């Protein structure tokens, strides 16, 4: 679990500490994501739970973790969602993310899923993610989430 957590923190740390904080300020950052590292540790405890339709796949190069994808399915709605995906910085643009998503999509299809979704941010940090998802053939549905410190 530690390598998965480390890759998660390295991947998403710049979002929380640089992008999100610079957009919303310190008060909202502290309130919404002040414990983001611990939140990810907590998340990992229940991320892979096949009995509850939650799955994780990892990509490795020898003994080195280079990426992962986690997803869940809702059999009643025949839908699935990629919860989180991360690829090591030096492995990006080498088709690792594509392989992870392709694996997840195929597993979901085998489970009866007809529609899959993934969420991402609209900030500059997530530019590459949005381009990647569009390249996979996914359709964006713009949403806006507002914050205000009181």
pLDDT at 5: 96
CA-to-CA distance for 45 and 32, rounded, in angstroms? 20
> What CATH number has the domain spanning 2-135?
3.40.630.30
pTM recorded for the entire structure? 0.92
How many angstroms separate the CA atoms of 150 and 79, rounded?
37
Domain ranges of the chain: 2-135
Q: Tell me the backbone φ, ψ of residue 111, rounded to 5 degrees.
A: -90, 5
Distance CA 24, CA 43 (A): 23
Q: Tell me the two tokens of residue 52.
A: 């509850």
Give the pLDDT confidence score for residue 129 in this predicted structure.
96
pLDDT for res 67: 98
How many residues are recorded in the chain?
150
Q: What is the pLDDT of residue 25?
A: 96
Q: Which residue positions in the chain have pLDDT lower than 70?
A: none
Please tell me the predicted confidence (pLDDT) of residue 120. Answer: 95
pLDDT of residue 56: 98
């Amino acid at each position: 679990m530690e390598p998965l957590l480390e890759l998660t923190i390295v991947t998403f740390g710049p979002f929380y500490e640089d992008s999100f904080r610079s957009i919303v300020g310190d008060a909202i950052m502290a309130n919404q994501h002040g414990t983001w590292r611990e939140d990810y540790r907590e998340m990992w405890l229940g991320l892979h739970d096949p009995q509850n339709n939650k799955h994780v796949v990892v990509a490795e190069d020898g003994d080195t973790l280079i990426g992962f994808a986690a997803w869940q399915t809702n059999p009643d709605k025949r839908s699935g969602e990629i919860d989180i995906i991360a690829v090591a910085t030096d492995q990006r643009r080498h088709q690792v993310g594509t392989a992870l998503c392709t694996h997840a999509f195929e597993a979901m299809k085998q489970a009866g899923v007809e529609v899959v979704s993934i969420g991402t941010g609209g900030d500059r940090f997530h530019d590459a993610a949005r381009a990647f998802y569009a390249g996979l053939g996914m359709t964006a549905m713009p949403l806006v989430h507002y914050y205000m410190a009181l």
